[in-house]
Each structure stands twice: as C-alpha cells, then as structure tokens.
Chain A
Amino acid sequence: MLKKVTSTLLFLILFSSAFSQDLTAVEIVQKSIDLINGKTNQGETQMTIVRPKYERTIAMKSWSYGSDYFMIYITEPARDKGQVFMKREKDMWNWMPSVSRMIKIPSSMMAQSWMGSDFTNDDLVKMNSLEKDYTQRLLGEEEVGGYPCYQIELIPRPESAVVWGKVVIWIAKGEWYQMKTEFYDEDMEIVNRMESSQITQFGDRKLPAKMVMTPVNKKGQSTVIITRKMEFDVGLESDFFSQQNMKKVR
C-alpha cells in the first residue's frame, strides 16, 4: 500500500516537473512580451530609416504603460523636434508644436508609414492579441545570433483581422529575447524580416539593443532601431498619457 502511494507520488512529482520544464508555445511568447514591456518603461531610442538614396535618423524619448499606452517625444532631427505621438488604447494622437496643433490620427492614416519608416502607425497602435488572433505552435529549436532559440509559428485564425499568412518568431531559450521574426503573406512568401542583436543590460534586465526591420522585396530599404537607454517599472500611471501632458513632456 505504502509502496503504491510512494510510487504514485513519485510519478506525480516527476510528471509535474517534466510538465513545468516543457513550456508551451503560448507561454514562451508571453514571457518574451513581458520581458520587453515590463509594467511600465521609459527610454531613449534612435531610429535610422535606410533608403536606397538616403538615410534619415530620428531620435526619441518614449514612455509606456502596459501595451495600451505609450508616448513618444521626438528629439532629433531639429525639424521634427518636439513632435509628440501618444497612444491611448485604440486611439493615436499627434501633437505638432510648430503649428500648435493636436491631431487625432484618423483610421485613414493608420496604415501610412510612421515618420517615413518601415513601420506603420498601425504597427504602433495595434498589438494583435496573440491568443485571440493566432494559433501558436512550437516548431523546434534553432540557434540565432549565438543563442539557442525556440522557433514558434503563429498562424492567424481565418476570421482575425491579420494580414499575415503566418509569423515565425525565434525566442532565446531561458533569456526570452525575440531574436528574429519573419512575416509571411498568404502564399507563405516572406514579406518582412526583423532581426535583433547587441544584447545589452538595461536597468534590471538584458535586452537586444538593436533591431533591424527589412522588407524583403524592397532592395536597399530597412529601418534600424537602436535603444540607447531603457528603464523598467518606473512608476508611471495611465493618467500620464493625456493630451495635456503631450504638450508638456520633454
């Protein structure tokens, strides 16, 4: 009898530990998102837009609260200095101090490129709920940029408002960096590739400092984002993200 109980217990312990080690695709993705966002964060970033004939660098300060609120203050170039972008839940605003105008970015402008980069306004606003819009599957493991990674495939549900045919993410094992992301169209042809590198210590955590977004079919075109400074859990409240504050932040 006792023997039986012990063996059952042993089995249970073994089973549960095995279970806890084998993370599901959903959990892996969630961990990587938590790592990037924190509860709140504040940082300084530099974005370089690379085009075949020119390059343009924009520097900015950013504040964010969860994935629903963020504010971006442009510090460079001088021409755009002082412009503020704010997202509150589903809406996005733009404050232009040069003309003293507050604009709510209308839906018709959401798909336009943000500040001329390879990101659209929509990319900034819409965080498709990963669980609601995609089915997630662990494909296997692969090394990217010197880190062993989980390779996870996200397939959008047919009725979800997602343009991609699939998205594949490589997430570093144990570190949870999103090392690489590939976006495919419905014919499973690759459209965009995002790669991360330069793992750096930011506050209490390590993150890739450099992200490169490359539209695969557009030669000589890419957007490079370099994080200069980033602090997490800085004690921002959601009321920080107001139109009044947009005019005040520096």
Chain B
Amino acid sequence: MIAKLAWRNVWRNKVRSLVVIIATTLGISGALFIAALISGMMDKWVQNQIETELSDIQIHQEDFVIEEDQKFFFEKEDLERQLTAFANEIKEKAYRIKAEGLAMSAHNTYQVILLGVDPDQEPKVTNISNYIREGAYFKEPGRIKQILISQKLADELKVRMNSKVVINLSDIEGEIVGEAFKVVGIFKTSSGIFDESHVFVKNDEFAKVLKMKPGQYHELAIRTGEEVEVEAFQTELQQGLDADLMAESWIQMSPALKMTEGYMDTFNWILLSVVLTALIFGIINTMLMVVLERTREIGMLRSLGLNDRKVGLMFILETIYLSITGAIVGNILSFFLINYFGNKGIHFESWEEGFEAYGLQAVIYPILELNFYVLVTLLVFFTGLLASYFPVRKAIRLDISTAIRN
C-alpha cells in the first residue's frame, strides 16, 4: 500500500519528477558512455601494442633483458628443442635479431631499434605488414640490403622510397660498423612512439652486418592461442626453459600498460561518483520541496494514525523510485548507444595526430562489461536511499498541530 502510494506520489507533479528523472538518465547514460569509450580505447590500445609490438610472450637471453647488448643471443636449435613441450599453447612464433643503432641520412640522425625479421614468419605474429603505406613488406633480395622505415622517420630523415639510409651500430664483437640500406617500404602504425623508434630489416641480411651466424637470434616473439591464459602460461614456460633464457609476458614487458588499464578503471569510478554526488543534491532538493508542499497532507496522515516509520518509508520509496527510474532508462539508453557505436566505431579523424602521438587509434569502439550496468543501478539505489535521509527527517519532525493548520 505504501509502495503504491509512493509511486503515485512521484507522478503528482509530473514536470518536476520528469526533470529529475531526465537529469538522472542523462547523468547515468553519459557516465556509462564515457566509461565505455575509455574502456574501448584502452582495450584497443593494449591489443594494438600486443599485435604490433609486444606479442603475448617474448623469450630472450637473460642478460639481453638486463642489458640490451647484441652479444647476448641464443641458438634457435636449442630453444626449439625446449619449446616442443608447449606446441599446443604456442599458436605462432617469430625469431628476430634486435639491436639499437643510428639511422642516418644527409640531413639527420635518429636513434632507432632495428628488428631483423623473417618476412614470411613475422606477419603471422605482428601486424606491421598491414600498415605498409608505400612499397612492400620486403622484396626479392637485391644488391643492397633492405629496410622498412615509418612515415614519421622518413619525414625526419627527409628520405623516401628507394632512398639510402645508413645504419651505424656495434656488431657482436663491439666494433662499430656502418651499412647502407635501401628503403623498400614505408609503414605507419597508430603509435607515433613506436614508429619513431623502430625500423625493420631482413634477419639474414642483418645477421651478416652484426657478424652473427645463421640460427642465432636475440628474440622470440610468441602469440598464444585464444584460450591460453598468458600469465599462467608464462610461468609454466619459464619452468620449461633453460636457466639462461627468460620468458616474459606482455604484462611483464610493459607494466605501464597494465597499470594504465587499472588507472582508467579508477577514473571511471571517480567519474561516476561525481555524477552521483551531483544527483544526490538534485534529488534532496526536489524531495525537500515535496515535503514542504505536502506539509498539511503529512500532518493529516500522521494525525490519522500513520506512524513515523510508514511516513518515512513512503518518502524513502518515493526518492528511490525517482532516482532508479532515471537509472534504468539511462542504462537502457546507454546500452543501445554503446552497442550501436561499438559496432560502428566513433571516428576522431580530426584529432588523429594527437591520438597517435599517444599510440591510440583514432577510431574508438566503446565497450562496457555487463556487470558495470548492474553495479551502477545498485549504486543509484543507494544514492536514492542516502538522499532520502533529509526529506524523511523533515517529514517526521514536523509538528502535527502546526502542520495541519498551515
């Protein structure tokens, strides 16, 4: 009976209630949508870094992890033997030669990380080959060694397709060597930071420059199957490897990536609590108005024998109805919005450059986990409960005799 009364009371002043409900709807759906946007952005970011740069797991010589010196390489044959036990979990893998060096042109010099890759195997692990803007992902071997550089680096060095880039670096004996490479492809990923600092060469050609023998590599990049839990697999893999080799998951290689994901979650909750706090005051204000308006009525009900608890309950319910209605409509609205844009993507092309400077993609596909909706609804419920405190207190403390005469 009280519940029904409370629900009817909500609709006695339609305009006022609707204003509150609409405010809640907008607040909640806005917060949810922004949260989904941020989650979508972060998800894509992490996925991108895994696909273009980190892969799921990398294996190096332990010393190489500590000090990236070209002399700490491993033999492919040895590693392959140790990996046979993990054939089920490992979906794809690619061996690389990795060294830091200087890319020089007549105009400029840039410090870069050179990755010597196998043009057949590498595209199965990383997706750089999809980002080639000009030229090709390596060609048939020619007289001059081949190099892929990013658009950004090409601009910095003022070189283009078929230009010569001179690479200076130390070989495995510590001697400084200079070598001419010809630009056969130019790539552009969504990450400006990655682009600026990475170039790709063929691993057989690179091995000669560094004076390494065939079958010697610095890095093995592994993509695991979808169902494999990366962190657990890394532990297992590490136990199966010789002591001088080190397997690292992307989380270990880039703790900042994982941390940023965590920060963003926190940020989402902060955003939501700001919205809810603003709502509380709106609701309190409205409900105090309600109490003021119905002073006589409350006095009447109480003098007729409705006890304080029931009067209180009536106002509590009214407040909750008011807020939860908005929350539910907001949830539904944002659910459809998020799904719609989740499929279609939101395009931020005009800010592409800024986004890419942070390694983010300019098209965002918002996503939100279902439990977030449930949690938000619960939170709104408690917000309503909290907000009802002041109006209820006011209603109960009314002096009946003055209330009726008012």
Q: Which residues of A contact B (CB under 8 A)?
A: 90-91, 106-108, 110-112, 120, 122, 125-126, 158-165, 183-186, 191, 217
How many interface contacts (CB-CB < 8 Å) are there between A and B? Answer: 64
Of B106, B166, B170, B178, which contacts A191 at CB under 8 A? B106
Chain B 157-173 against A: per-residue CB contact (8 Å), 1 yes, 0 no?
01100011011111000
Question: How far is it, in angstroms, between the C-alpha of A108 and the C-alpha of B168 when the chains are bound?
Answer: 8
Instruction: Determine whether B120 belongs to the interface, using a CB cutoff of 8 Å to chain A.
Output: no
- With A90-B176, A164-B106 known as contacts, the answer to whether A159 contacts B144 (CB < 8 A) is yes
The interface centre, meaning the residue of B109, B144, B169, B178 with most chain A CB atoms within 10 A of its CB, is B178
Partner of A162, one of B143, B166, B169, B175: B166
User: Which residues of chain B come closer than 8 Å to A160, judged between CB atoms?
Assistant: 180
Q: Could you say which residues of chain B place their CB within 8 Å of the CB of A185? A: 105-107, 158
Asked whether any CB of chain A lies closer than 8 Å to the CB of B101, the reply is yes
- In the assembled complex, the Cα of A165 lies from the Cα of B160 at a distance in Å of 14
Give the chain A neighbours of B170 by CB distance below 8 A.
Answer: 106-107
- How far does the alpha carbon of A192 sit from the alpha carbon of B111 in the complex, in Å? 21
Alpha-carbon gap, A16 to B287, bound state (A)? 115
Question: Bound state CA distance, A22 and B400, in angstroms?
Answer: 125
In addition to A111-B104, A158-B180, A161-B180, 9 A-B residue pairs with Cβ atoms within 8 Å of each other are A91-B176, A108-B100, A108-B102, A111-B168, A126-B178, A163-B106, A184-B106, A185-B158, A186-B163
Whether A186 contacts B176 by the Cβ 8 Å rule is no
Contact residues in A for B105 (Cβ distance below 8 Å) = 163, 185-186
The minimal Cβ–Cβ distance linking B229 to chain A, given in whole angstroms, is 38
| A126 CB contacts on chain B under 8 angstroms | 178
Bound-complex Cα distance A213 to B324 (A)? 75
Chain B residues in 8 Å Cβ range of A164: 106
Bound complex: CA of A106 vs CA of B170, how far in Å?
A: 8
> Which chain B residues border A217 with CB–CB below 8 Å?
107
Determine the residue in chain A with the shortest Cβ distance to B178: A161
Does residue B179 face the partner (Cβ distance < 8 Å to A)? yes
Cross-chain contact A158 with B109 (CB below 8 angstroms): no
| Contact string against A for B residues 88-117, beta-carbon threshold 8 Å, 1 for contact and 0 otherwise | 000000000000111011110101000000
| Partner of B180 from A112, A125, A162, A183 at Cβ < 8 Å | A162
Binding site of B, secondary structure by majority: helix, strand, loop or mixed? strand
Q: Mark B376-400, 1 if CB is under 8 A from A, else 0.
A: 0000000000000000000000000
Is the pair A122, B168 in contact by a Cβ cutoff of 8 Å? yes
Q: B residues within 8 A CB of A158? A: 143-144, 164, 180
Chain B residue nearest to A183 (CB atoms) is B106
B168's partner among A91, A110, A191 (CB-CB below 8 A) is A110
Bound Cα distance A163, B168 (Å)? 11
Chain A to chain B contacts (Cβ below 8 Å), 17 pairs = A90-B176, A107-B102, A107-B168, A107-B170, A110-B168, A111-B102, A111-B168, A125-B176, A158-B164, A161-B167, A162-B166, A184-B106, A185-B105, A185-B106, A185-B158, A186-B164, A191-B107
Closest-by-CB residue of A relative to B164 is: A186
Query: Could you tell me the distance between the alpha carbons of A217 and B111 in the complex, rounded to whole angstroms?
Result: 22
Q: Complex formed: what's the CA distance from A159 to B208 in Å?
A: 14
Specify the chain B residue showing the minimal Cβ separation from A165.
B106
What A residues does B144 contact at CB under 8 A? 158-159
